[in-house]
Structure 1
Amino acid sequence: MNLQLLRKKRNKSLDYIFVFILIIYAGSATVFVRSFNSWEDIVGILFICFFAVYYAINNRIQLNKTFYLLATAYIIYSLALTVKFGEVHLQFFSIYLISFYITYITIVTLRYRFFVIYEEVMYYLCIISLFFWSLHQIIPEQLTSFIDSFAFSKPGSINVKSNIIFYTINDISVVNDYVVNLGYFNLFRNSGFAWEPGAFAVFISLAIYIHFIKIKFNKLINKRFLMYLIALITTFSTTGYGIFIVLIMFYTYNQHIKYRSIYLFVSVIMGVYVLSLSFMSDKIISLSQENTTNQLVESSINNDTKYAPQRITSFIIDYQDFLNNPILGYGGHNKEMWTAKLGAEIATISGIGKLFARFGLVGVIFFFVMLLRSSKLQSQILGFKGWGFPFLIIVMISISYSLIENPLLMCFWMAALFYPYPKMNPEGTQTYKIKRFKQKLELNKLQY
């Protein structure tokens, strides 16, 4: 089945602006955009809320029964947390309710045109990032001064030195692996618009995923793919390279049967080569040799130091919190974390670990059911084989980062909740639950 879009008479420029804002907010490089979760800059959270409402009104979007059911279930969940911990956590409650609303209006308004716009915006963001990244290698101090002079907001985390919306310069004095030693010379890693290179690699990987579908898995080597590939290489991200291997297998799986074995062989060789790269193997070894959890907690308490452990240790810490609150999680009550109770300041980074710890089985079941349904939906609507690939890609992202809690990523794994799910009628053709769109909307093939 060919990938199809529902075309509506709308302000297309506004669509691109809206998705661009979602992408930049997901990048979380400045206090302004990171305030969506932290509320550190009230203007930042109000801006995206008001823009989302304006976007919904402009497109005459009304809340439907599905959204009200989701909101009701979330309110009940929040009330249960309040009863359990004896405290109302308004910020936690508001953040996810707003996230659900933004995800809802994005999917209902754009449907799978969201993917088209996301890929288009990411293409130009990759071009911009490569331009600044090249300058960063040649004139790092001058570029930093230039970006500082145009910065509209403070860095969103300690590893960000400067940001100009489209490009981030990381502070190598805080995290020294933002510089890669290639033997004869060193290279700064490319963070693009995001707070760190690995996160930028995730956004690029999702764009490549959509790109493969748009070209219908035909001519692999083209200008757009090469741009994504170069941008991905400059991130030097283990997560990004790992997802890219899966993407090549995804491309291979959708080839004609007589070519599949060739592409599969190339994929395996490429995977072995990527894993053998020095910075990849060094990163894997360093993760396996990281200090034990108890040592980290003890050091934080004794030295009054805040730590952000890598993904393996982060997951171990989060999993213990899950065991302490297996059904509901600790929600927004961070002081209920076992490390916080001991007096340690540990900021975990594992997305899947936080999902278990913060939301318990309630959130875990919801996430995986929605991800499963949305992955199958994408396979059916977008016309590719192997629904397990988008499922695996999102899981791989969640292992490394908490991006899955962001509205942009929610549009990938919550699509099935708001998008009319295809079902088979007696004649064996696909129909849709929402019939009122049938005669009003024009179908158009997804292409450049």
Structure 2
Amino acid sequence: MNLPKKKITVYLYTFLFAAMSGNPLFSISGDTSKYIFIAFVLLLVAKHHTYFNLNKGIIYYRFFVFYALIFLFQKLILGYVSFPSTIAFMARITLGYIIIRHVGHNFKYAFFQIMFFVSLISLFGFMWNFLGKNIPYIYYTPPIDIYSDNSGRNIIFFHQHGVGGRNSGMFWEPGAFACYICLTFLFYLGNIRTLLKLHKWKVIILLLALITTYSTTGYIVLFIIGIATIYIEYKKKYGAFVLPILITFGLIAYITYENTEFMKEKMDHQVAAASQRDEGEFAPDRMSALLFDLHYIGKHPLIGNGYHVSTRFADHPSLQKEILGHGNGFSDFLASMGILSFLFYLFYIVRYNKNHPVIFVVSIIFLLQGEPLLNYPLFLCLPFVFIYDENNRRTVNLPQ
């Protein structure tokens, strides 16, 4: 069946948006790649220039002005703001605005389809790698991060991370892949039964892909989604039986946590290691990173310390010369952009998300404990998903 041109555009835009939110081939970590990314966004601005009409684009301008003020105050108070990082941040906001506004209420379904496709391919790649086979790479970057535990990365639609151990999908790390799969289900919070009824096998593929990530964060959020779904969608139908079902589900979650090496032992090890570190000592695991970031959150709580190493790690000059892997996206964002930025972000999610926003926000905060997701366009622009969920006449009606 041939898809209409508009539907092809919807899927293409959604895929590019996801890829630019964590596929290593689309990395924008260096200054050169940032400028390439900015140039691409400017092309989209030219193509969709009507979206920037002052009246129709007022939501975008609110975001733009708010974050511009944050960077302005950082310049005034910190004395320095990285120009490439500032422009790249604004470009991420602009990219998300254009794509989400264009896709509109089709975004959740299009993202579901893209993640299913990525998950399906990732499972073939995962099994091939698990059997000891090497998948030919089209791009290779030797690891330069001193905290990296892998010898290299093969990237096609998914990439390997070690030999057959965990499934990274097309993203930079298995935990990141788990976060994006969880986001797929969070978009349908309160309607999981319908999703299962219409797309049972696709949901199973997504769950299998999530399981093969062996991500502690992903598993925890999946349990949250499961408990919320049982309570929200089954309490009317099963009444008093919901409570024992919830208790049973909770016991399964607890037993899984207690008897799974990569969950309990990993968390216990991180907590113990973090508690033994000297004050100001950095390590990339989530607990150590959180304790380290508390210093910088307290230093400039409202506006943050910026993204450049000279201000972000101003009190730790030795770290400015290293390439750091940061394991806590929540504390990293607060330390970089401040509490005001995060509250602004949450305000628009809660205001426009009509499907159980509190559970959604709690889940997002859990996901951020594992990965720096707000450094990427998709998570950074989640408010736009809900803002343009209903009111966009440019969208096409994808099959639900």
TM bracket, shorter-chain basis = 0.7 to 0.9
3-state SS in 1 of match to 2:109:
helix
Alpha-carbon offset, residue 27 of structure 1: 2.1
Do residues 120 (structure 1) and 98 (structure 2) align? Answer: no
Partner of 1:62: 52
Residue 274 of structure 1 corresponds to 256
Q: Which amino acid aligns with 2:272?
A: Q
CA contact (8 A) 2:294 2:331 kept: yes
Q: Equivalent residue of 1:313, what SS? A: helix
Q: 1:396 aligns with which of 346, 349, 366?
A: 366
Partner in structure 1 of residue 158 of structure 2: 167
- Aligned pairs for 1:210-249 within 5 A: 210=187, 213=191, 215-216=193-194, 219=197, 222-249=200-227
Kindly provide the amino acid, as one letter, of the partner of residue 169 in structure 1. Answer: Q
Deviation at 1:164, TM superposition (A): 2.5
> What is the rounded CA distance, in whole Å, between the counterparts of 2:80 and 2:262 in structure 1?
46
Verify: 1:20 aligned to 2:18, yes or no.
no
Q: What residue number does 1:130 align with?
A: 123
CA shift digits 1:94-143 (9 cap, x unpaired): 12211111121123222221111000000010000000111001133x32
User: C-alpha separation between the residues in 2 aligned to 1:334 and 1:118?
Assistant: 34
2:304 maps to which of 324, 329, 332: 329
Same amino acid, percent of matched pairs: 21
Aligned to 2:44: 52
Letter in structure 2 aligned against 1:368: L
- 1:270 is displaced (CA, Å) by 2.5
Q: State the alpha-carbon separation in 1 of the partners of residues 227 and 213 from structure 2.
A: 21
Deviation of 1:234 after TM superposition, in Å, equals 0.8
Change (3 A) 1:220 1:392: farther
> Which protein has the bigger strand share?
1
Partners of 1:296 and 1:353 lie apart in 2 by: 16
- Taking a change above 3 Å as real, the CA distance of residues 319 and 367 of structure 1, as seen in their structure-2 partners, is farther
Question: Take 1:395 and 1:218, find their aligned partners in 2: how far apart are those partners?
Answer: 26
Residue in structure 2 matched with residue 154 of structure 1 by the alignment: 141
The one of 363, 377, 388 aligned to 1:419:
388
Question: What is the CA–CA distance in structure 2 between the aligned matches of 1:339 and 1:294, rounded to whole Å?
Answer: 20
Separation in structure 1 between the aligned mates of residue 47 and residue 244 of structure 2, nearest angstrom: 47
Given candidates 321, 334, 338, the residue that maps to 1:356 is: 334
The C-alpha deviation readout for 1:276-332, integer Å capped at 9, x for no partner, is 22221111111112155754856xxxxxxxx65211111111111011112221113
Alpha-carbon shift at residue 12 of structure 1 (Å): 1.6
One-letter code aligned to 2:371? Y
For 1:396 and 1:361, how far apart are their aligned partners in 2?
A: 17
Q: Which sections of structure 1, spanning at least 5 residues, go unmatched?
A: 1-8, 173-178, 180-186, 299-306, 380-385, 422-433
Give runs of aligned pairs for residues 364-383 of structure 1, distance below 5 A. 364-374=342-352, 377-379=353-355
| C-alpha distance in 2 between matches for 1:228 and 1:262 | 27
In structure 2, what is the Cα distance between the partners aligned to 1:191 and 1:415?
Answer: 25
Counterpart of 1:309 in structure 2 is 284
RMSD between aligned residues: 3.1
Q: Is 1:80 aligned to residue 67 of structure 2? A: no
Bigger relative contact order (CA 8 A; separation at least 6): 2
Residues 44/274 of structure 1: CA separation in 2 closer, same or farther (3 Å cut): farther
Indicate how the Cα distance of structure 1 residues 199 and 88 shifts in structure 2: closer, same or farther if over 3 A, else same. Answer: closer
Q: Which amino acid aligns with 1:164?
A: I
Q: Are the aligned partners of 1:78 and 1:93 in contact in 2 as well (CA < 8 Å)?
A: yes
| Equivalent position amino acid for 1:406 in 2 | Y
Highest Rg: 1 or 2? 1
Total equivalences in the alignment = 381
Q: TM-score, normalised by structure 1?
A: 0.76
- 1:51 & 1:246 partners in 2: Cα distance? 40
- Whether 1:286 and 2:235 are equivalent positions in the alignment is no
Report the TM-score, using the length of structure 2 for normalisation: 0.84
**Paired AA for residue 62 in structure 1:** F
On the 8 A contact 2:20/2:377 being kept in 1, the answer is no
